[in-house]
Structures are given as structure tokens and as C-alpha cells.
Structure 1
Amino acid sequence: MDPMKRLGFLGFFLVLLLAAVSCSQPPPSPPPATCSPRPTGLTAQGGFSEKALPQGYGDFFYPHVPGELLVLSQGLTPQGLVARLGNAEVMGILPGGFVHLRVLPGSEKRQAQALLQAGARWVQPNYLYYPLAFPNDPLYIPKQSGQLNGLVGLETAWARTVGDQMLSMAIIDTGYLAHVDMAGRWYLPSAQLDVADGDADPTDDTPKGRGHGLAVASVLGAVTGNALGMAGVTWQGRVLPLKVARSRDGEITTAYLATAVNRAVDLGARVVNLSVGGPISDPALENSLASARQQGVVLVAAVGNSGTDGIFYPAGSPSVIAVGAVNNTKQKAYFSNCGQELDLVAPGQGVVAALPNDDYGSGSGTSFAAPVVSGVVALYMSHFKAQKGSWPTPDQVYACLAAAAEDLGPSGHDTGYGFGLVRADRIFSSAYASVCFP
């Protein structure tokens, strides 16, 4: 095994080019703690505000699948939509009633305008998404304690709980790969786990970003205490892989993500990790996220790696815990996006992760900060259930993690660190018992 490996997901050029344009040179240390204020639907107290149904049409300049539309019809049947357009085909119905249409490539915006004139409420493209990894120099880190314990305080948390064996945690990403340090952690029920290709086999065979899903999953749930490789944030629980990257080209779309979120709920997931994103809001996906949260699912997403003001979506959703990255000295990682929607930060530079072929390496990016928070969420939920006999609500989870976070940067919530660094040890401290275990 060559220890000098890296997570080089170079195929996802859009996000990486955005990073290169905005962050061609790393800013001087320490990086800015805040960005300029931006309007937000996030409330610091509750965290998950609801948005009204959208009206109008989406951004047809942003990358999307040619010849596909997502329509909130408001009274028009799918057949009625097709009749209004003529040359169109219904591909399916997404959660929340969004009709997935195929139209002539190149006609998307014109057809969207026609549908609005016919009475549709909202029409958008089928947006493209990208795993939010950030490639770095080859680095293998044999110890994780400086991050997992020194920053996050996991050893104190592990003394209370290592997770609930029956808690399902979904990784919506590039799919599943076998690894010696994930043996016994993957949960592969009989279901359509490959959302992108419409089959039951979630094996990651994508030409771009292969292994991203494995790396993210290993941060959350690598087997711990087996004298092999790395430790995961959780030691117990089921890691459910849902593949949203299409096998032939790695394409990730709104439709795949919305369907995967819905499927995670149907398969009993309590925690959903989304280390993917794009720099645009997405009402069709928002509908699925809001529905999942209403059903008790906690959603966690990476904020993006362009190092600029603006939280990527779905992290920008009010239904999601938005996670940025810090380095090992608790400074905001230079690539980590910022904005009012940011909730928490976690270690995201030089994070140990599993690689294909039973290998290990390190990666940097908000992709790897998000599963740290997802794991802490799972530990908290597991202990809460053991103590109270029921799962905490998403609002309870949000309130606990926000209250227990280590405040960094300007006092209180800010755009560079959110509420601060996630602290697993504080969750189990008597100082936060009234919030975390009322």
C-alpha cells in the first residue's frame, strides 16, 4: 500500500474551477472569519424555517441536463402539460408533485415560459450537482486524534455512546465500494439504491469522482477498534449508500438527489449526509428536503469549496445543517464557503479517509467536514434515544449542536464559522443538559 495517496476528484471541474477562479492564491493566515452579510431564511433560534412555494422559473444559465424540465404544475395534470407543449414526454413525478418532463434540447427556457403562461406555478431545469471534494497534495496521516479528539472531543462522547446499532445513516453520494475498514457497516437493503441508474446495485463505477462516497462514508462510520486503518466518528449503526452519480458519466441531477432523499426516508434513515452541491437554490430539491425534515430526518450538507461568500445548495436550505471546514488550528479553511446560512464548522483539512482497494489517504474539503457533523448528530441521537426512549426531533438536534458549539470568530453566530466548531464532548456536559437532554 502506498501511503502517499490523495483524494483527487479532478473530474468535477465546475466546482474546482470556481475554486481556482476565486481562490487562485490561498489568503494570508489567518483567513477572514466572516463574509459580507447575505439575505437568508435561516433563523438562529430554530434553524429550519419553511419557504413558500416558488413562482416563476429557474436559472437556465446554470449547468443543467439538456432537454429536461421540472414543473410544479398547480392544477395541470402531467398529460395536460404534455398537451400544452406538444413535443414533450413525462419522465416521472418527483416528491412534492414536481413533474419531470423531457423536451427538445435547447428549448428549455422557451418551454418554461410557455408552461408558465399555461398556468404552471414554477418551472426549472434539472440542475447538475457535484461532489464537494477539494484535491490537495499527497498526505497520509496515521493519527486522527488531533482532529477527532483534540478539536471535536469525541473520546468524551464515545465514553457515553458509540452509536445505536439500528440507526441508519444515509450517504447520498457516488455510491458504495467494499473496504476492509467498512466491513459490517454498509447497509444494503433490497431496494433501488442506485437512484441515478435505476437499479439495486449502488456500486460506485462512476468515471468521475470514484471513491468519493466511500471516503465520506468512512469519515462517518469506518469500523473502529479493529486494529486496522482509521477510526470513524460512529462505531455502530448502519451506513446506507444511495448512488446519485450516473455510471456512464458521473452526472448528478436535481431529480436524482430529490429521489434519493425521499428514498432515504422510505428506508428508515434518521441522518442524511449530502457532500454534494451547486451554487444555486433548487425549489424542486427543497421540497424533498423539507418533507424529510418534517418526518424527523436530520439532513447535513457541505457548504462548498470556492472560498467565497455564498453557501452552496443543498447546504443553503433552511431544512439542512450547513457545515463548513476549519484547519487543525481552528482557523476557517481557505476554501470553505461562508454566509448567513452556515451553521457549524468541523475539521476539513487533511482528513483521513478510506480509498478504493482497501487503501487510505487524506482529503480536504467541506465534503469531509460534513460527515464529522453527521457522525456527531448520530451519536447524540443514539444517546438521546437511550435516555428518553425516542429520537430527538431535527429542531432538538439543531438546538443542541448550536448551543454546544465552540464559538469561533466574532462572538455569536457569524458568516465564517456559523455557531462555531462542533463539539461532541460538550453535548454530554451538564452545562448543556437543559438544551440537549431536557
Structure 2
Amino acid sequence: MEAMKRLALLALLLGTAFLLTACPLNPPPPPPPPASTCSPTSTGSLSTLALREPQGLGDFSAPHVPGELLLLPGGLAPQSLAARVQGVEVRRALEGGFLQVKVPPGQEEAKAKALLQAGARWVQPNYLYFPLYVPNDPLYPASPLDASRLQPYYQAIRLEAAWDLLGSLPFTPVVAVLDTAFNPTHPDLQASLLPGRNLTPDGLPPENLSPSPPPQGFAYGSGDADHGQGVAGLVAAVADNNEGIPGVGLNRVKVLPLKVFYWVSGSYSSTSAVLASAIRYAADQGAAVVNLSLGSPTPLDRVVQGALGYALSKGTLPVAASGNAGADGLYYPAAYPGVLAVGSAKLDGTRSDFSNCSTAPTDLVLAAAGNRNPSQTLWSLALGQNYPYYRTLGAYARWAGTSFAAPQASALAALYVAKYYARYGQGPGPDQIRLCLTRTASNGGRYDPQTGYGLLRADRVMTDPTYCFP
């Protein structure tokens, strides 16, 4: 009878607990994902797109050669067009009908507008291109011998191009990671971690971020407690230190580690009360972003909803994993209004087979974070320290799941906050961050049931003059 009671209690907890949404390298074989109910869409291919002659102005916020413009004359003779705008000198004709012209340095945009008014069809800067930054972390560069290297995953969201645009940032944003456990002494994360807090009632001190001791008769599964360290690593693992991996934040973002998972009557999970308390704590500490690589199918959690509303009112953006059921309908808290939901894409840009999608339009974007079949995994951190009741995966592990898409979006959001602050002297609000990341994603501002607004485009987040830097 006692055993039956325990089984019933465990089933109830598993039905309501907040579930981790990532997969370690060697989990038990999962059941096949349910058939997705999201409507597939045709994406076409680059080769089918017609090349249309441009009209208007280029983007003068991007790096370009001072004192030079490139233009389509629009049917006017080159010298005739130049004669209509003072200070413009034709240098040479380029292939494709373009002209390269000289203008006074610092007046590129003004002269471009004048040329457009004088009859030119298209005027743009002579843009600068750079070798993309590649950090020296050994698990980063792509390798045919190791398909889990991070470079292809980061390149999928154009992160290297965004890194080249960061420059000096006077403001260091904070991403609060609410998760399982953390090792503050890990050599690839130590410099990026702020003093964290254990917000669970597991009997350990508030400053102890170790995995919670399980009750007698229960034990961790492989990778369970390493999850939080892996999520934090993708946000802010130290770059250019010849160790492991670089985080998306490239040494410009700090992590506030908050332990919210513990053993609740035999289930390793979190609760409404603990999670809501942690969200409010993160907002009170001034976190720009709260990363929630966790989820539940239970929607009517007024306690957590209230905490999310509080965070938004304090200027903190919640970012949450969409869920790993491979079906239509986001898990919560990703589905709540005001939250940036993040699903996972394969390296070819299509939705991962485990990633939840949504036929109902919502603030959903994707980052490349693996696949189940065929298998794709990516490197991130593990705890790297064993405990009396838990043996870690090691210092690094291969992971896959929407849990590892969310921290990429969280760190990118934080970099955008820092870039915005550098330009305007103040940070953007949560609505502005969400607008920037969704509308610059790969679907061009259109919502798709399979992929939401599409893959994140970090390069556009750092430069877009319409949605990001209006």
C-alpha cells in the first residue's frame, strides 16, 4: 500500500513539475517524437529567386569606405548625374552597371540622398568586409573529425559577423540562468560568473550551487545536474583562453547562476514557488535577461505568470525554451505573453525533430541546437567536479535540445542591450529587445508555423536601423 501511494505521488509530481528541456550526449534511447501538427511550408531556394534591380538607399550604419559611394545611374549619363550634385566626382564604372564615385568624407549619406533625388536609381556605401573573428577555444573550430564543434552552430545564426561589430562596450549586461546546478570554479566559466544563489529548500546554504542531495532510495540520471552548467556555458564560457568553448557573449556578458532544481518527494524538478521567487530575485538584481531552459505543459500558473510580469515591469526579458515534444504548442513559460520563446533548428536551418512549434503566432525564434535523428549535438560545459551523490559528465559534454537554443538567444539579447546602451546611453526595454530579435530573424518579419520568425540573425541584430536601432 505504501509503495502504491509513493507511485501515485510521483506521477502527480511529474505531471506538474517544470521539466528540463535538453538532452545530454548519451541519454537512454528516447521514444520517437510525436508527429508534428505544425503545417509544413515551402521555403524555396536561392537559385529560384529572381535578381531584381535595387532602388533606393543602402545602409549607412554599416562599416564603409569614407568618401566613396556606389550607385546605379538610372538611365542618366554618369557625368550628367554627377554635375547635378556638388562635390561628386565619377571615379570609374563597375561591372553590373554600377558607378564608383568620390564624395567628401563624412558626407556619404547626405550626398547619396542628393544623388537619389537627382535621378539615381540606387546609392549605397562602398561597404567594408573583414575576416570574421574566430576565438582560439579548441572545441570551437569546425572539424570533420568532430561534428559537435560549435562553429557551425554559431555560424547558423551569423554570430561571427556580429562579434566583429561589437567594438568596445561600456556596459556589461547580466543574464540570470535559472537551472540545476553550477560549479563556480570551472576554469572555462569562473571569470564570467557572478556570486550565485541557491533558492531551493534543499538544506544546503544559500551560496551552495552544488546538485541537491537526493532522498534515500533515489538517484540522478546521467547529465541531470550538469544541465545548468551547460546552459551557462553557452551564454558566457570564457572566450580566447585556449579552454573548451567560447560563450555567445564573447567575454562581454556575465551570468547570475540561480539554482532552482532540487528533489521534491523523489522528483528532481522545480516548483511554481521556487521558480517565481527566482524570477523576481533575478529582476531585482538588475538582470537584463532571465534564461529559462525548463518547461511544463501546465498553462494556468498564476504564480509564475505574476513573476514574469514583475520581471518585465523591471526591464528584464524572460527567454524560455520552446520544449522538446516535437509537437504543436509551446511549453510554459515559453508560451506566456511577453516571453521570447526559442526553439531549435538543425544545421540546415529546418526545425529540429524534437523542437516544439506553434501554429498560433507568438514570439518564437530558433537557434541551431541539435537534432535527434539524424543525430546532431553541440559541445558545452559540464560541472567538471564529482560529488558524493553525483558523478558529473566531465568538464565538457555534447548536448542537444531547446535548452541549448535558449541561452544562445539570451546571450545575443544581452549583447544587443550592451550595443544599444553604447549608442543611446540607456538600455532597450523588453518589448524592444523582443521586437529586434524576432523581426530581424531569417523569415524577414513573417511568422511561419514551423519556425516562428526563423533563425536568429545576430549580424542584423547588431546593425538593423528599423527594428533594433531606430
TM-score (norm 1): 0.66
Residue by residue over 1:109-161, the C-alpha shift from the partner in whole angstroms, topping out at 9 and shown as x without a partner, is xxxxxxxxxxxxxxxxxxxxxxxxxxxxxx96463221102x11111211222
Runs of 4+ deviating beyond 6 Å: none
Specify the alignment match of 2:339 in structure 1. 320
Q: Separation in 2 of the partners of 1:342 and 1:307? A: 18
CA contact (8 A) 2:171 2:422 kept: no
CA contact (8 A) 2:293 2:404 kept: yes
1:362 and 2:398 equivalent? Answer: yes
What residue is the counterpart of 2:200 in the other structure?
Answer: 195
Distance in 1 between the 2:230 and 2:279 partners?
20
Asked if the contact 1:175–1:194 (Cα under 8 Å) also holds between the matched residues in 2, the reply is no
Q: Which consecutive residues of structure 2, in runs of 5 or more, have no partner in the other structure? A: 1-22, 42-144, 213-219, 371-376, 385-393
1:191-246 Cα deviation digits (max 9, x unpaired): x5333437412423143511100000001111001111111100222211111111
Q: Distance in 2 between matches of 1:277 and 1:145?
A: 28
| C-alpha separation in 2, matches of 1:157 and 1:263 | 31
The answer to whether the Cα contact below 8 Å between 1:194 and 1:242 also exists between their aligned partners in 2 is yes
Checking the alignment, whether the CA contact within 8 Å between 1:196 and 1:252 is kept in structure 2 is: no
Deviations 1:258-299 (A, max 9, x none): 000011012221111000001121222111001111111011
Residues 391 and 202 of structure 1, relative CA distance in 2, 3 Å threshold: farther
AA in 2 matched with 1:263: Y
| Change over 3 Å in CA distance of 1:251–1:142 after alignment to 2 | closer
Counterpart CA distance in 1 for 2:341 and 2:226 is 23
Ranked by relative contact order (alpha carbons within 8 Å, sequence separation 6 or more), the top structure is: 1
Tell me if the contact between 2:435 and 2:467 (Cα under 8 Å) persists in the aligned partners. yes
Which of these residues, 382, 391, 412, is aligned with residue 446 of structure 2? 412
* More deviation, 163-172/311-320: 163-172
Q: Which residue of structure 2 aligns with residue 144 of structure 1?
A: 150
Provide the identity percentage: 33
Q: Is the 8 A contact 1:323 1:343 kept in 2?
A: yes
- Which residue in 1 is equivalent to 2:180? 174
Alignment of 1:341-380 (within 5 A): 341=362, 343-349=364-370, 350-357=377-384, 359-380=395-416
| Distance in 1 (alpha carbons) for counterparts of 2:148 and 2:350 | 22
In the alignment, is residue 304 of structure 1 matched against residue 336 of structure 2?
no
- 1:29-428 correspondence runs (5 A): 33=40, 141=147, 143-149=149-155, 151-161=156-166, 166-177=172-183, 178-188=185-195, 192-197=197-202, 199-206=205-212, 207-208=220-221, 209-234=224-249, 235-246=251-262, 249=266, 250-281=268-299, 282-339=301-358, 340=360, 341=362, 343-349=364-370, 350-357=377-384, 359-407=395-443, 412-428=446-462
The 1:164/1:278 distance shift into structure 2, 3 A limit, reads: farther
Mapped to 2, the partners of 1:255 and 1:294 lie a distance apart of 19
Is the contact made by 1:140 and 1:360 (CA closer than 8 Å) also made in structure 2?
A: no
Q: Root-mean-square deviation (CA), in Å?
A: 2.6
Identify if the C-alpha distance between structure 1 residues 392 and 202 changes in structure 2 by more than 3 Å, giving closer, same or farther. Answer: farther
Evaluate the alpha carbon distance shift between residue 196 and residue 267 of structure 1 in structure 2; reply closer, same or farther with a 3 A threshold.
Answer: farther
Whether the 8 Å contact between 1:271 and 1:378 is mirrored in structure 2 is: yes
Q: Which protein is bigger by CA-based radius of gyration? A: 2
CA distance in 2 between partners of 1:166 and 1:182 (Å): 16
Whole-Å separation in 2 of the counterparts to 1:383 and 1:348: 25
Do the aligned partners of residues 381 and 167 (structure 1) sit closer, same or farther apart at CA in structure 2, a change above 3 Å counting?
Answer: same
TM-score (norm 2): 0.62
CA contact (8 A) 1:175 1:202 kept: no
**SS of equivalent to 2:288:** strand
**Does the aligned pair in 2 maintain the 1:185–1:239 contact within 8 Å?**
yes
Q: Is the 8 A contact 1:220 1:372 kept in 2?
A: yes
The residue identity in structure 1 corresponding to 2:191 is G
Contact kept in structure 1, 2:293 and 2:321, CA below 8 Å: yes
Secondary structure of 2:353's match?
A: coil
Change (3 A) 1:142 1:160: same
Amino acid at match of 2:198: L
3-state SS of the aligned residue for 2:343?
Answer: strand
Deviation per residue, 1:72-95 (Å, 9 max, x gap): xxxxxxxxxxxxxxxxxxxxxxxx
Which 10-residue stretch deviates more, 175-184 or 212-221? 175-184
Work out whether residues 194 and 201 of structure 1, in 8 Å CA contact, stay in contact via their aligned partners in 2: no
Report Cα offsets for 1:378-423 as digits up to 9, x if no partner: 1111100011100101111111111210018xx8202211111111
Which residue, 8, 18, 24 being the options, matches 1:7? 24
Give the unaligned 5+ runs of structure 1: 1-5, 35-138
Instruction: Write the letter of the residue equivalent to 1:184.
Output: A
